[in-house]
Chains A and B, each alone.
Chain A
Amino acid sequence: MSTPRIVISATGAVCSGGKNPGDIFAAVRDGNSSIAPIQQWDTTGWPTTTAGEIAGFSAREMVEDRKLHKLIRRTDLLGLYAAGRAIDGAGLAAHRDTLAADAAALFSDRTGVYVGSGSGNFENQYDYFPLLAAAGGSLPAFGRELANTVNPMWLLRSLPNNVLGHIGIKYGLKGSNACITSHSCSGSLAVIEGMEALRNGEADRIVAVGHDAPIEPQMVLYYYRLGLIASDALRPFDVARDGSVFGEGAGALVMETEASAAARNAPVLGYVLGGGEVSEATGLLAIRDDGDGLARAILQALDNAGIGAADVGMIVAHGNGTRASDASEAAAIRTVFGGMAPPVTGFKWSFGHLIAAAGILEATLALEALVQGVVPGVAALNELDPECAGMPVSAQPQVPRSKVALILCRGFGGTDAALLVSAA
């Protein structure tokens, strides 16, 4: 069966490492980390104090329309920013403006939006604290005072699918869509589902975006209590690794059928070749030691793309720095590639773990790596863990073996996703 290639005509990204894929990649390539002391709240006395926060975060810089700021949250601002840069870069709206009315309407109907969303965090629930305090434990009082105390738009601000709805409204896109809330695999799943919608003829163009802003006190505290947060730095595959570090941000791709890209003479940055995703059925937090789920996801992606393991030129590992995930990820790579794995790297040590946005943002960086012909070294790696033996991961830069990158992603619920992209 032939597997039609899906064109990537533009990318967008934002995180602590920069406000476009090129800058973020340059920081990783040059060995720079933007993980720093948390600024959003006073961490005095906290057992963990660092994250990849966007320094000098400005809502206005992310989304110009100030009226919108009251209707959405920080995570939505990030998603709209990355998606906007990708849409502008691909020239979607500009192209539509050149079309006659009927053709323009069809262009809108045939352009879809697939979003991976962090699905609501704790801060929006805190909007009820003043009301709870005023009600003093009385629910009838809570009900009576509700309208005087809480922002009437509270529910809308809390919607996990805000980025989807607002991209649609701002750019007039009306096609096939989804908002995926599958924890860390959400962004990768947005790419996979968007790609399949294009292959299936449901749409001609898809904007895929993943966004998340998990750096908030209660979230950090829970992950810390679960033993998932590093004491100071994220060191993927290192013998001394002791956990992950949160980041925040978003990544976006504009994907098109080859026919759509050719018809409007679109830029071609690269291609989405295929993807796979599976569950390990282990519950919310546990993962299998043998990497079974991740190995199956990789094999599924290769099969989906119609290529073999030997065609993969580089691997962007999930590399979240936790003991169990990195060791089982190394096992999965051994299972699929044997002793023939291409150069492996990971990016999270530089700007943190973006949860729902991780997979898609890292896919935009993988494209940069392929274009520049550089697999960045993992600057945080001092000594490879013997459990991860045989992994061609290094603190030094390597050279991709081909134009194809494999991007791995793992989330709560024992979910594993694999994406394959190639440079043009």
Chain B
Amino acid sequence: MTSRKRVAITGLGLVTPVGNDVATTWDAVLHGRSGGAPISVFDASGFPVHIAAEVKNFDAAAALGDRRLLKLTNRSHRFALAAAEQALQDACIRPTDADATRWGLTVGAGMMGVDFADLAGTQVHSAADGELHSDLLLTDGPANDPVAFCRSNCAAGLSLLTRRFGIRGYTSAVHTACASGGQALGTALKLIRRGAADRVLAGGYDSMISPVGISGFCLLSALSPDNETPQRASRPFDVSRNGFLLGEGAGFLVLEEWQAARKRGAHIYAELAGDGNSLSSYRITDSPPDGDGPIQAMRQALWSAGAMPEDIDYLNAHGTSTGMNDRSESAAVKAVFAPNVHRLAVSSTKSTMGHLIAAAGAVEVAVCALAIRDGLMPINANLRDVDPDCDLNFVRDMPRRQRVRMAMSNSFGFGGSNSCIVLRHPDETDTALERGS
């Protein structure tokens, strides 16, 4: 462990349902101002669920600064490009010709999706009766438009980001559903530790607030049906919780080898200190009631960070607000942090932002970095009656002012992938380095 390189978080960028930058998002999350509202990006009035946490007042042309990029990007790519730009500006560094090959990119990317207008266009032309007639595809508009293909390709986000910022090193996109963003950060941590990159732009982006995206979750009954009270719909760990609130957005972080960051005088939010990931191997959508799977991910992240459970002051829980996840996660937290679980402050900021799916993990790690910077823990909004199965030490009603030595962020995905990321206060890291460990 002692010879391991350490990794500094030196830049943050956020585009979320509660703010199109870091400061606005952080203020809303701290105080639990919900981003939930009726869906506005399409007419969802006939859907079983017609609320979501949308990114609001996002001026894509201004955020991208390049109108030509609009047609090459879908909604989630625009969030990604904007959040990545913020993160690089915040870090006061970006790839140059001299060091571009030492910069990496890791992203948690949303599922490949065809723009709904393109899908509907192809249906009208090539599947008027509901069945695809492949001969008609030959004269179909969207199906012959390379630009539509580029937007839908799984490598689109990755290629837009590497080209835009001139990143020429290790590049990878991961998709493990709701664990994607956390796993992208874990991959980035490992790249710097093993010397495959000196700096990594890492994050996640997603937008499933579309007719097909909402449909997918509606069909699984995963979303809260509280259409009349969208701001209360996401209430992780509350006994009355009934599903998640679908969000969208992007979070990006600039990660650097610690000494290099110190040498250039960078502001360091926190050390990205540990990564753990495991498979639940239970069921594709269900979480094991005893927390098996998440337990191993959390323990591995502690091991990777060289930390003990009592070193962690704040846990940003996965806390989706579904019955099963929150119960399973609580069981896992109790197993890992026993017998001192009540010393650990816990909140799920999905209570405010909703569930950003492939972006969630990255956004929530950024939230942990801000908690460490400010010594402030954001609240678990909408928590009135704590589920007796989830009796953790929640940050409620008011943000909690307390120095955060280390923070932990959980992300668990459909398919059973569990990601856990651990962050350390920069002073703690410097102290450890002075001690020579």
| Assembly CA distance A218 to B190 (angstroms) | 37
Chain B residues whose CB sits within 8 angstroms of the CB of A140 once the complex forms: 43, 45-46
A177 at the interface (CB under 8 A from B): yes
Chain A residues whose CB sits within 8 angstroms of the CB of B417 once the complex forms: 161, 164-165, 177-179
B137 at the interface (CB under 8 A from A): yes
Q: Are A119 and B111 touching (Cβ within 8 A)? A: yes
Chain B residues whose CB sits within 8 angstroms of the CB of A138 once the complex forms: 46
Q: Are A132 and B130 touching (Cβ within 8 A)? A: yes
Chain B 157-199 residues near chain A, CB threshold 8 A? 158-160, 162-163, 165-177, 183, 187, 190, 193-194, 196
A163 to B: closest C-beta gap in Å: 9
Q: Are A285 and B150 touching (Cβ within 8 A)? A: yes
Chain A interface: which of B16-24, B231-239, B273-281?
Answer: B273-281
Q: How large is the interface on A (under 10, 10 to 19, 20 to 34, 35 or more residues)?
A: 35 or more
| Assembly CA distance A205 to B388 (angstroms) | 39
| Assembly CA distance A185 to B159 (angstroms) | 13
B282 to A: closest C-beta gap in Å: 7
Name the contact of A143 in the complex, choosing from B47, B292, B296 (C-beta under 8 A).
Answer: B47
Chain A residues whose CB sits within 8 angstroms of the CB of B285 once the complex forms: 156
Chain B residues whose CB sits within 8 angstroms of the CB of A121 once the complex forms: 112
Chain A residues whose CB sits within 8 angstroms of the CB of B44 once the complex forms: 139, 143
| Assembly CA distance A185 to B155 (angstroms) | 10
Q: Are A415 and B280 touching (Cβ within 8 A)? A: no
| Assembly CA distance A180 to B174 (angstroms) | 4
Q: Which of B44, B120, B194 gathers most chain A CB within 10 Å?
A: B120
A142 at the interface (CB under 8 A from B): yes
Q: Are A174 and B153 touching (Cβ within 8 A)? A: no
Task: Report if A156-B284 is in contact (Cβ < 8 Å); known contacts: A200-B194, A218-B143.
Answer: yes
B134 at the interface (CB under 8 A from A): yes
| Assembly CA distance A140 to B84 (angstroms) | 36
Q: Are A142 and B415 touching (Cβ within 8 A)? A: no
Q: Which residue of B lies closest to A149 (CB)?
A: B130
Name the contact of B135 in the complex, choosing from A44, A176, A183, A280 (C-beta under 8 A).
Answer: A44
A322 at the interface (CB under 8 A from B): no
Q: Are B154 and A181 touching (Cβ within 8 A)? A: yes
A196 at the interface (CB under 8 A from B): yes
Task: Report if A165-B114 is in contact (Cβ < 8 Å); known contacts: A129-B132, A143-B48, A155-B216.
Answer: no
A67 at the interface (CB under 8 A from B): no
A241 at the interface (CB under 8 A from B): no
| Assembly CA distance A214 to B119 (angstroms) | 18
Chain A 56-82 residues near chain B, CB threshold 8 A? 71
Q: How large is the interface on B (under 10, 10 to 19, 20 to 34, 35 or more residues)?
A: 35 or more
Chain A residues whose CB sits within 8 angstroms of the CB of B155 once the complex forms: 181-183, 284, 411-413, 415
Q: Are A183 and B153 touching (Cβ within 8 A)? A: yes
| Assembly CA distance A42 to B138 (angstroms) | 12
| Assembly CA distance A210 to B170 (angstroms) | 19
Q: Are B171 and A279 touching (Cβ within 8 A)? A: yes
Q: Are A174 and B279 touching (Cβ within 8 A)? A: yes
Q: Are B175 and A117 touching (Cβ within 8 A)? A: yes
- The contact string, 1 if C-beta is below 8 Å from chain A, for chain B 37-54, is 000001111111010000
Q: Which of B43, B120, B165, B279 gathers most chain A CB within 10 Å?
A: B279
Q: Are B159 and A178 touching (Cβ within 8 A)? A: no
A68 to B: closest C-beta gap in Å: 10
Q: Which residue of A lies closest to B100 (CB)?
A: A281
Q: Are B46 and A141 touching (Cβ within 8 A)? A: yes
- The contact string, 1 if C-beta is below 8 Å from chain A, for chain B 43-79, is 1111110100000000000000000000000000000
Chain A 7-36 residues near chain B, CB threshold 8 A? none
B337 at the interface (CB under 8 A from A): no
Q: Are B135 and A42 touching (Cβ within 8 A)? A: yes
| Assembly CA distance A162 to B176 (angstroms) | 9
Q: Are B153 and A133 touching (Cβ within 8 A)? A: no
A121 to B: closest C-beta gap in Å: 8
A15 to B: closest C-beta gap in Å: 20
Chain B residues whose CB sits within 8 angstroms of the CB of A128 once the complex forms: 119, 123, 212, 215
Q: Are B175 and A202 touching (Cβ within 8 A)? A: no
A218 to B: closest C-beta gap in Å: 5
Can you show 20 pairs from A to B with CB atoms below 8 A apart?
A45-B138, A108-B281, A133-B123, A133-B128, A139-B43, A155-B216, A161-B413, A168-B280, A169-B283, A169-B416, A172-B281, A174-B292, A179-B175, A200-B194, A281-B167, A284-B156, A284-B160, A304-B196, A413-B159, A415-B171
B residues at A contact (CB < 8 Å): 42-48, 50, 100-101, 105, 109, 111-114, 119-120, 122-124, 127-132, 134-135, 137-138, 143-144, 146, 149-150, 153-156, 158-160, 162-163, 165-177, 183, 187, 190, 193-194, 196, 211-212, 215-220, 277-285, 292-293, 296, 300, 304, 413-417
